[in-house]
Amino acid sequence: MPAGSRGPLAVLAASFALLLGTVASSVPPGAPAPHHQRPCTAPDDVESRIRFYSAQVADHPRRYPTLALLGKAYLDRVRWTGDARDLASARDCLERSIAIQPNLEAYKVLAATANYSHRFEVALRWCYLAADAAPGDPEILAMRTEALLALDRPDDVALLLEKIESPVKSFHALACRGMLSAVRDDRAGALADFESAGRSADELGTVELRVWARIASAALFLDHGQPANAEPWLRAAGQISPDDYDLQVHLAEFEEGTAREREALARYEHLLTLRCDAEVHRRACLLARRLGQQGKAADHYVAAERLWRAALDPGEVFPLEGLAKLYCDAGRNLDEAITLAVRNLEYKRDASARETLKRAVELRSRH
């Protein structure tokens, strides 16, 4: 195909589109099922919690704390399965819980569920109720910060931090201020706060928080195309919890950034044996395409699209941005990419959401 008539991206997109139509039916016998056909399961501890709390609630439907715990377990499950039905189950349990008796636990998990599903305005409403019940709760501060940053309200985060904790010294407050600084492009400030958060987490001894702080520091450099500077932080996180999922995702980004794309793809594919993660499928698709592995790229494309569509169709909004990006990456369905990106801005207004729309419009104008 002459380069003048269609650019390389369009050529790749065309051959890729052909592959999409055939990938589902061309699995050789004995080969692992394509990603979009693999089942998504949660770890045993999540499933055992669901079983335990479900049994309790079946016998005692007014046991509101257990309903809140069951809702939390479903939210934990959806992080592994990506299945929107688990989100619906979470909401159902939590709303039943507060209908029996308002309680902090259900408010907090409702806020977390709303954040997960990108209903950030809703998350803020639940956070306000939760904060009324537990004014100093640092997890509520973290959820409010997440929602406010997603809604492009960094000044409100600053005001909130000033009101809740001054001077800032707890782990969550440091992490929140670090995120705020990162959004404001104050990388030095963000790094200082994440380092302090890491020290605070070390004192607490909580593995997840210790790892999070180090990954956050690494992400500052990865985001700015400086993977070499991210390496010490990734290594430090790996010494604490080498199998941490978010760490593995960032290690894959690091490998991509240091010209080790095959290793990065292998890492993404390993992660996809653990979780049904549409975003990781999208990244794997991009990488595979760059490496010329069109069959694999098509497999990941289908998997990502199916996961996101399966959530979008019943009314979830969190797939809007990811699906728009997927279509932009592939250079196809660009009209729909724009529609998705515009709709996404009703719920999410941060830089990533704005960039997605801008990119979709630019690509569409070139086609």
Partner 1 sequence: MCSGAKVTFAALLCGVLLLAESRPLSAADHGDMGYLAGISRNDARITDFFAFTHGDNLVLALCTNPAIPPGMTEYLYASDLTLEFSIDRHSKVRYDDPDDLDQFGGTIVRPQAVTADCRLRVTFDDEGDPHLETDGIADKYLSELQLFAGLRDDPFIRAPRAGRNIAAVVLEFPLKAVLKKDETLLLWATTSVPDVNGPIGDHGGRALRSMFINPSNVLTPKQQFLQLGIVPDVVILDVCQPMGLPNGRVPTDDVIDIVEDYPLGSFDDDAPFPEENDVPFLGEFPYLAPPQ
Residue closer to partner 1 by CB (options 296, 348) is: 348
Residue 168 CA to residue 336 CA, distance in Å, equals 44
Tell me the closest approach of the beta carbon of residue 22 to partner 1, in angstroms: 28
Smallest separation (angstroms) from partner 1 to the CB of 281: 14
144, two tokens:
């409010």
In the complex, what is the shortest distance from the CB of residue 47 to partner 1, in angstroms, rounded to a whole number?
A: 11
* DSSP3 helix / strand / coil % (the chain, rounded to 5): 75, 0, 25
* Subset of 80-119 contacting partner 1 (CB under 8 A): 100-105, 107-109, 112, 115-116
Binding mask 293-312 for partner 1 (x = CB under 8 A): --------------------
Span of 49-57, 85-93, 298-306, 335-343 interacting with partner 1 by CB under 8 A: 49-57
Binding residue (CB under 8 A) for partner 1 from 35, 36, 72, 296: 72
Question: Closer to partner 1 at the Cβ: 27 or 99?
Answer: 99
Cα separation values, 288 from 224, 270, 273, Å:
23, 14, 17
Distance CA 172, CA 160 (A): 13
Is 14 exposed, middle or buried, given 0-12, 13-18 or 19+ CB atoms closer than 10 A? middle
CA angle 82, 273, 54 (to 5 degrees): 45
Q: Does 48 bind partner 1 (CB under 8 A)?
A: yes
Residue 134, interface with partner 1 (CB under 8 A)? yes
146 binds partner 1 (CB under 8 A): yes
Nearest to 349 by CA among 120, 114, 110, 112: 120
Report cis status (omega within 30 of 0) of the bond before 167.
Answer: yes
How many residues belong to the site for partner 1 (CB under 8 A)?
Answer: 68
- Pick from 6, 79, 85, 260 the residue near partner 1 by CB under 8 A: 79
Work out whether the CA dihedral 23, 28, 32, 33 comes out positive or negative.
positive
Kindly tell me which residue out of 133, 240, 266, 274 binds partner 1, with binding defined by CB under 8 A. Answer: 133
Cβ-count burial of 8 within 10 angstroms (0-12 exposed, 13-18 middle, 19+ buried)? exposed
Contacts with partner 1 by CB under 8 A lie at 45, 48-49, 52, 56, 60-66, 68-69, 72, 76, 79, 100-105, 107-109, 112, 115-116, 129, 132-136, 138-139, 142-143, 145-146, 170-172, 175, 179, 182, 204-206, 208-209, 211-212, 215-216, 219, 222-223, 246, 249-250, 253, 256, 279, 283, 286, 352
